[in-house]
């Protein structure tokens, strides 16, 4: 049983990280649909760094940096040149898919040591729970730390409140003197870093090799998770675990021969996402405060 | 003076012979233009990579006598039609379309270009200028079954499959036949990934199989993810399409390797000599070329991570399949619900293999859909 729990957690972590990053980006009013592309570049960067430098921890740093690099490209276009965010985000994913294919070509067929598990003293000896919660790798702990941090950040810190203000009404934020563009740059780059590390988790822990397009659509799920969580950080954990849980449950169901067609089981995670989206959108119409009001709108500071 | 004339003459002769050589090599035979359509890129290290290796063998064999164009990442569907048509327009004389989903697009374009030869890989529909080529992948899976049956301790085999199409189902059944030839207690449980390629999902499926007690893993999906998990968790498995031992030196028992090169070379040679044809007519289900171990279109990598006694049995199975002594789908065959498929004395023909929609004895559950 705990082997299955571990599998669920492992499969959830890339989603969790990428969604958390995107949440911050969207809270600042930027809709970056390039998550898939940023994850891919994180994955290829991480694997390249580990092959080159030998230590899997450099992979995390490299993955994060590659994500930031991609996010910067997106920021230049959408924030400085005020291009359409949806189109630019889609473009970023397509661009990154090609670029990572090119950059990753020499990495094909190579494998790397995966990230070691870190046992937390004494806690890891607790039966069942210890194995699952306190015997994880560095990125798993990091992702929980990031969630806790941004929960605090958005709710209690001044910078967090400014970030939300920028996302809700960039003109007002601008008129009281906050640097809207700079804040959006930071938020987008943070999103890129998280997506990059999330992508890095795939070659560093899940399947230690590079193959083109290996994220296989997880960036899009991460985008859906942000909406599923209605922009509330802790709900991303829940959403990611539900998604991971259903994914694994359908595999277990097949292995055990549950009499449910595998296609229906394969469809379950997506169905769950749509149901959640519908429920949330019903609620949004009642209280309008969930979605950042300036989400996806370009900001012109000359006005 | 005479000397001078001689010198001029010899220079002339030299120049002429050089020119002759240049022209000769340029016009000796205009290179045959060959097109390839790939589903993904060689970077998948699986299916398309195997075709890439085949293409490289063509290049090596023919050198300047062929001019090859490759289009990668072509989705199955309307895009494929456009790409294939473009290749035909550019004057390619023979076009290899290397995925099952290119079947209809290939036929459609073939109608528009009756003088171009088309080779559709793994399909079953043909026309005047469309031939089909395929590999008897299932033969390798029989040997996998034999090795799995001898190596398993838990008697549980985990199988990760892509889509419930005949190609994949006959692989599972062939595996089961190999398995039951040496071990009547072992059984196969199948997880359908519903994708050819999603490393994370393949890895998850492998983890689930292991958690459920499987100690031998087999796959009919494209990435090396399953073997990497096997390596990590200390169980064993088989590589797919290409030798994956680099990913799992301690876990890979052997890999079935798709060897397209000789087929491509032969078909191009046939085209050059005007002998290219589409085989035996439309009722020949698997197409005119369905080669396996004997034709060396399917190769088996080194047997490893197994005791010599098992390797010997595996070699026997390999030899038996090559010589035709082993007939994998010979009766009596019973499906896993107990229904008789064919009685003793008969065996399934190629057409019946492509109509398979049931599991044979030794496989758990039932075919979805």
- For residue A26, what pLDDT band results from cuts at 50, 70 and 90? very high
For residues B263-276, give the mean pLDDT. 90
Which range (B7-11, B77-81, B356-360) has the least confidence? B7-11
Sort out which chain B residues have CB atoms less than 8 A from A218's CB and list them: 200
Could you tell me if B158 lies within 8 Å of chain A, comparing CB atoms? yes
CB A246 within 8 A of CB A268: yes
Inform me whether the pLDDT recorded for B206 exceeds 60.
yes
pLDDT of residue B283: 43
Strands B216-220 and B236-241: parallel
What are chain B's domains? 32-135+260-291 (3.40.50.2300), 137-257+299-353 (3.40.50.2300)
Using an 8 Å CB-CB cutoff, list chain A residues near B225: 206-207, 209
- Residue A301 three-state SS: coil
Res. A91: pLDDT tops 90: yes
pLDDT for B320 beyond 80: yes
State how far the Cα of B216 lies from the Cα of B237, in Å rounded to an integer.
5
Cis link prior to A93 (omega < 30° from 0)?
A: no
The answer on pLDDT for A2 being more than 70 is yes
Higher-pLDDT residue of B133, A130: B133
Q: What is the DSSP string of A57-77?
A: HHHHHHHHHHHHHHHHHHHII
Q: Which residue has the higher pLDDT, A91 or B45?
A: A91
- pLDDT tens, position by position, B24-34: 444 456 889 99
pLDDT band at A134 (very low <50, low <70, confident <90, very high): confident
Facing residues of B33 across strands? B67
- Partner B contacted by A252 (CB < 8 A): yes
**Spatial separation of the C-alpha atoms in residues A130 and A141, rounded to whole Å:** 13
| A101 inside 8 A of chain B by CB | yes
Residues of A with Cβ-Cβ distance to B192 under 8 angstroms? 254, 262-263, 266
Chain A residues whose CB is inside 8 A of the B223 CB are 207, 209, 211, 214
Lowest pLDDT segment from B8-17, B56-65, B353-362: B8-17
Q: Which member of B42, B203, B212 has the closest CB to residue A207?
A: B203
Which chain A residue has the Cα nearest residue B233?
Answer: A3
Chain A residues near residue B359 by CB distance under 8 angstroms: none
Taking the CA of residue A23 and the nearest CA in chain B, the distance in Å comes to 23
| Phi, psi angle pair for A220, to nearest 5° | -70, -35
- What integer pLDDT is reported at residue B17 of this predicted model? 55
Task: Determine the pLDDT at residue B285.
Answer: 47
Inter-residue contact B144 to B302 (CB < 8 Å): no
Mean pLDDT of chain B, nearest integer: 87
Binned at pLDDT 50, 70 and 90, residue B366 comes out as confident
User: In this complex, which of A3, A210, A216 lies closest to B200 when CB atoms are compared?
Assistant: A216
Q: What is the mean pLDDT of residues A38-63?
A: 94
pLDDT at B24: 46
Place of tokens 């030798």: B243
Is the pLDDT assigned to residue B282 strictly greater than 60?
Answer: no
Contacts of A216 (CB under 8 A, 6+ apart): B195, B197, B198, B199, B200, B201
- A79-89 per-position pLDDT tens digit: 999 999 999 99
Tell me what pLDDT residue A247 has. 84
Instruction: In whole angstroms, give the CA distance from residue A122 to residue A242.
Output: 29
The verdict on a CB contact (< 8 Å) between B208 and A251 is: yes
Q: Does B107 touch chain A (CB under 8 A)?
A: no
The band of B290, judged by pLDDT with boundaries at 50, 70 and 90, is: confident
CB contact under 8 A, B200 and A251: no
Confidence of residue B238 (pLDDT cuts 50, 70, 90): very high
Q: Contact B42/A108, CB-based, under 8 Å?
A: yes
Question: Would you say residue A58 has pLDDT above 90?
Answer: yes
Predicted pLDDT at A197: 96
Sign for the pseudo-dihedral over CA of A125, A131, A134, A138 = positive
Please tell me the distance from the alpha carbon of residue B173 to that of residue A254, in angstroms, as a whole number: 17
Lowest mean per-residue pLDDT among A220-229, A266-275, B153-162, B214-223: A266-275
pLDDT at A45: 95
Q: How do beta strands A117-119 and A135-137 pair?
A: antiparallel
**Interface contact flag, A211 B44, Cβ < 8 Å:** yes
Residue A136: its pLDDT value, please? 87
CA B124, distance to chain mean position in Å, is 15
Q: Which residue has the tokens 């100690």?
A: B215
Do A206 and B211 count as a contact with CB atoms less than 8 A apart?
no
Q: How far apart are CA B173 and CA B166, in angstroms?
A: 10
What is the gyration radius of the CA atoms in chain B, in angstroms? 24
For residue B76, how many other CB atoms are within 10 A of its CB?
15
Does the pLDDT of residue A40 top 90, yes or no? yes
Collapsed DSSP state (helix, strand, coil) of residue A268: helix
pLDDT at B284: 47
Helix intervals (H) in A137-261? 138-156, 158-168, 170-175, 180-201, 218-228, 233-256
Q: Contact B200/A105, CB-based, under 8 Å?
A: no
Residue B2's pLDDT band (boundaries 50, 70, 90)? low
At B289 the three-state DSSP class reads: strand
- Chain A residues with CB under 8 Å of B255 CB are none
Asked if pLDDT for residue A262 goes beyond 70, the answer is: no
Whether B50 and B263 have beta carbons less than 8 Å apart is answered as: no
Least CB–CB distance from A255: residue in B41, B42, B209: B209
> Stretch A8-29: mean pLDDT, rounded?
94
CA distance A12 to B204: 11
pTM of the model: 0.81
pLDDT tens for each residue of B156-175? 999 999 988 888 999 999 99
Residues in chain B within 8 Å Cβ distance of A114: 232
Q: Please, which residues 228-247 of chain A have a Cβ atom closer than 8 Å to chain B?
A: 247
Q: What is the pLDDT of residue B358?
A: 94
Taken in order of first residue, the domains within chain A and their CATH numbers are: 2-118+136-286 (1.10.3470)
To 5 degrees, how large is the angle CA B342–CA B344–CA B348?
A: 45
8-state DSSP, B288: S
Q: What is the DSSP letter of B175?
A: H
Nearest CB to B192; choose among A114, A248, A254:
A254
Question: CA–CA separation, B10 vs B252, rounded Å?
Answer: 66
Do residues B231 and B250 make contact, with C-beta atoms less than 8 angstroms apart? yes
Q: Which residue did the predictor score with more confidence, A65 or B273?
A: A65
- What residue in B sits closest to A249 (Cα-Cα)? B208
A232 burial class (0-12, 13-18, 19+ CB within 10 angstroms)? middle
Q: CA A169 to CA A187: how far, in whole Å? A: 16
Contacts with A, B 175-194, CB within 8 Å = 189-192, 194
**pLDDT-wise least confident of B44-58, B93-107, B171-185, B271-285:** B271-285
For strands B252-258 and B289-291, give the pairing: unpaired
What pLDDT was estimated at residue A230? Answer: 82
Distance from C-alpha of B167 to C-alpha of B328, rounded to nearest angstrom: 15
Q: Which helix (H) or strand (E) holds B131?
A: strand B130-135
pLDDT of B5 reads 55
- Judged by average pLDDT, the poorest of A40-44, A267-271, B330-334 is A267-271
pLDDT bucket at B15, cuts 50 / 70 / 90: low
* Contacts with A, B 220-249, CB within 8 Å: 223-225, 228-229, 232, 246-247
- DSSP 8-state symbol, A106: G
Indicate yes or no: CB of A212 within 8 angstroms of CB of B199: no
Structure tokens at B89: 């327009």
* Residue A211, SS3 per DSSP: coil
Q: Is there a contact between B247 and A209 if contact means CB atoms under 8 Å apart?
A: yes
Contacts of B204 in chain A (CB under 8 A): 7, 11, 247-248, 251
Give the chain B residue whose CA is nearest to the CA of A199: B200
Q: What is the pLDDT of residues B68-123, one digit of tens each?
A: 999 998 988 888 999 999 999 999 999 999 998 899 999 999 999 999 999 999 88
Q: Do the beta carbons of residue B121 and residue B84 sit within 8 Å?
A: no
B138 contacts chain A (CB < 8 A): no
Higher-confidence residue of B198 and A38: namely A38
* pLDDT bracket for residue B58 (50, 70, 90): very high
Q: Which of B38, B204, B251 is the best residue to mutate to test the A interface, defined by the most A CB atoms within 10 Å of its own CB? A: B204
Highest mean pLDDT among A260-274, B141-155, B330-344: B141-155
Task: Kindly report, residue by residue over B171-193, the tens digit of the pLDDT.
Answer: 999 999 999 999 999 999 999 98
Give pLDDT tens digits for A152-173.
Answer: 999 999 999 999 999 999 989 9
Q: Can you give the pLDDT at residue B25?
A: 47
Distance CA A131, CA A62 (A): 29
pLDDT > 70: percent of chain B = 89
Q: A177-217 pLDDT, tens per residue?
A: 999 999 999 999 999 999 999 999 999 999 888 888 888 88
pLDDT value for A283: 65
Residue of B nearest to A2 (CA): B211
pLDDT bucket at A132, cuts 50 / 70 / 90: confident
Q: Which among B45, B194, B200 has CB closest to A11?
A: B200
Distance from CA of B164 to the nearest CA of A (A): 10
Strand partners, A222: none
Is B207 close to A3, i.e. CB distance below 8 A? Answer: yes
């Amino acid at each position: 049983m705990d082997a299955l729990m571990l599998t669920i957690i492992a499969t959830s972590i890339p989603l969790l990280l990428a969604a958390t990053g995107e949440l911050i980006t969207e809270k600042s009013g930027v809709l970056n649909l390039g998550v898939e592309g940023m994850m891919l570049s994180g994955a290829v960067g991480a694997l390249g760094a580990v092959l080159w430098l030998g230590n899997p921890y450099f992979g995390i740093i490299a993955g994060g940096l590659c994500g930031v690099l991609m996010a910067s490209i997106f920021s230049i276009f959408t924030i400085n040149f005020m291009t359409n965010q949806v189109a630019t985000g889609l473009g970023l994913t397509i661009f990154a898919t090609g670029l990572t294919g090119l950059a990753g070509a020499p990495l094909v067929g190579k494998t790397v040591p995966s990230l070691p598990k870190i046992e937390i003293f004494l806690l890891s000896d607790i039966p069942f729970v210890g194995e699952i919660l306190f015997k994880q790798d560095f990125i798993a702990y990091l992702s929980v730390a990031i969630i806790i941090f941004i929960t605090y950040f958005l709710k209690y810190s001044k910078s967090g409140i400014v970030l939300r203000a920028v996302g809700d009404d960039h003109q007002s934020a601008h008129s009281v003197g906050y640097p809207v563009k700079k804040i959006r740059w930071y938020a987008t780059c943070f999103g890129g870093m998280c997506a990059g590390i999330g992508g890095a988790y795939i070659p560093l822990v899940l399947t230690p090799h590079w193959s083109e397009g290996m994220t296989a659509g997880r960036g899009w799920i991460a985008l859906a998770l942000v909406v599923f969580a209605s922009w509330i950080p802790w709900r991303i954990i829940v959403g990611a675990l539900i998604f991971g849980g259903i994914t694994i449950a359908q595999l277990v169901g097949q292995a055990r021969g549950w009499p449910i067609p595998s296609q229906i089981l394969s469809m379950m995670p997506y169905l769950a996402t749509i149901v959640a989206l519908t429920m949330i959108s019903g609620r949004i119409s009642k209280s309008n405060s969930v979605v950042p009001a300036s989400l996806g709108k370009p900001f012109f500071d000359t006005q | 003076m005479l000397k001078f004339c001689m010198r001029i003459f010899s220079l002339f002769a030299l120049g002429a012979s050089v020119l002759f050589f240049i022209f000769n090599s340029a016009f000796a035979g205009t290179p045959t233009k060959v097109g390839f359509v790939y589903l993904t890129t060689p970077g998948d290290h699986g299916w398309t990579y195997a075709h890439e290796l085949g293409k490289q063998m063509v290049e090596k064999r023919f050198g300047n006598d062929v001019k090859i164009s490759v289009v990668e990442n072509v989705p199955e569907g309307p895009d494929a039609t456009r790409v294939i048509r473009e290749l035909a327009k550019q004057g390619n004389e023979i076009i290899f379309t290397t995925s099952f989903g290119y079947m209809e697009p290939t036929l459609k374009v073939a109608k528009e270009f009756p003088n171009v030869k088309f080779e559709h890989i793994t399909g079953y529909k043909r026309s005047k200028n469309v031939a089909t080529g395929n590999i008897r992948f299932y033969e390798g899976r029989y040997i996998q079954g034999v090795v799995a049956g001898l190596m398993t301790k838990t008697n549980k085999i985990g199988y990760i499959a892509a889509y419930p199409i005949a190609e994949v189902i006959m692989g599972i059944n062939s595996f089961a036949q190999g398995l039951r030839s040496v071990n009547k207690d072992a059984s196969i449980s199948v997880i359908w990934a519903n994708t050819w390629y999603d490393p994370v999902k393949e890895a998850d499926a492998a983890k689930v199989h292991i958690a459920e007690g499987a100690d031998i893993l087999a796959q009919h999906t494209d990435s090396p993810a399953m073997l990497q998990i096997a390596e990590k968790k200390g169980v064993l498995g088989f590589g797919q399409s290409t030798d994956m031992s680099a990913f799992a030196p301690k876990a890979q028992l052997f890999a079935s390797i798709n060897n397209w090169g000789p087929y491509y070379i032969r078909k191009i040679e046939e085209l050059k000599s005007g002998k290219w044809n589409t085989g035996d007519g439309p009722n020949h289900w698997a197409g005119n070329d369905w080669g396996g171990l004997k034709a060396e279109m399917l190769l088996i990598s080194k047997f490893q991570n197994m005791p010599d006694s098992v390797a010997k049995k595996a070699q026997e199975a390999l030899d038996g399949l090559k010589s035709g002594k082993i007939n994998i789908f010979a009766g009596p065959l019973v499906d896993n619900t107990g229904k008789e498929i064919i009685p003793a004395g008969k065996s399934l023909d190629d057409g019946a293999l492509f109509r398979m929609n049931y599991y044979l004895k030794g496989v758990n559950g039932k075919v979805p859909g």
